[in-house]
Amino acid sequence: ALALALARNVAQRGEAVDIYSLEMERMLMQDRLYAMEAGVDVNHIQRGRLNDREMRALGDATGRASQWPIHIVDRFQLSHLGLRGYARRRHARAKPGLLIVDHIGLLPSPKAENRNVALGEITRGFVHLALELDTVILALSQLNREVEKRASKVPGLSDLRDSGNLEQDAASVTFLHRPWLYDKTAARGLLELHNGKHRNGESNWQVALTFDPATMQLQSNYVEVPGYDYAA
């Protein structure tokens, strides 16, 4: 949801976005984007159970979304080399300002002695690709289960799954934390972003968002900073 919100925001500003989905079909991702734009429950869209108000809102939203330069690729067996080749061909045509990979753990491993070494090859390839294409690459990753065993459930760099290379090669690492899953007194829908690393700026910052899982919408309370919009 956060990655799609970022894609939507970038596309609304006129920059192309490429999304490589290794887990979810393109139509399902489009439904989520439409729900986000229309403020309509995504389950109502997928089941075709829309009232008149939702139909009008969805019609207006799909009209706007059809103009966004978002390109979704849902080739589930795409290798990291295949992805890089596809991205180069796309760059020659559209020059996307943001490239999203969902998620890095599903990329088939190159031939290597273990998964850690394989992921290192993948992450270094992303670094080179970002520099070559002069674009931002947002690679989503799962966490390991160690965070579930601690008193503090806020993720950290040691919780990145499979590889320290993710921490080493990434310019910035930000974790998502939903306190209400562990603390019943926390506000439901609260989504905290915790930065664990920022190579070229301030690190260890935290931002609180409100997430509505029905409509996939995110809103930020970070309204005092120039250049940041209230609605994601």
Active-site residue set? 23
| Cα distances (angstroms) measured from residue 209 to each of 44, 46, 78 | 24, 26, 33
CA atoms lying within 13 Å on the CB side of residue 92: 5
Burial of 105-114, coded b for 16+ CB within 10 Å and e otherwise, reads bbbeeeeeee
Question: How many beta carbons lie within 10 A of that of residue 210, not counting itself?
Answer: 15
d(CA 18, CA 177): 26
Residue with tokens 């019943």: 184
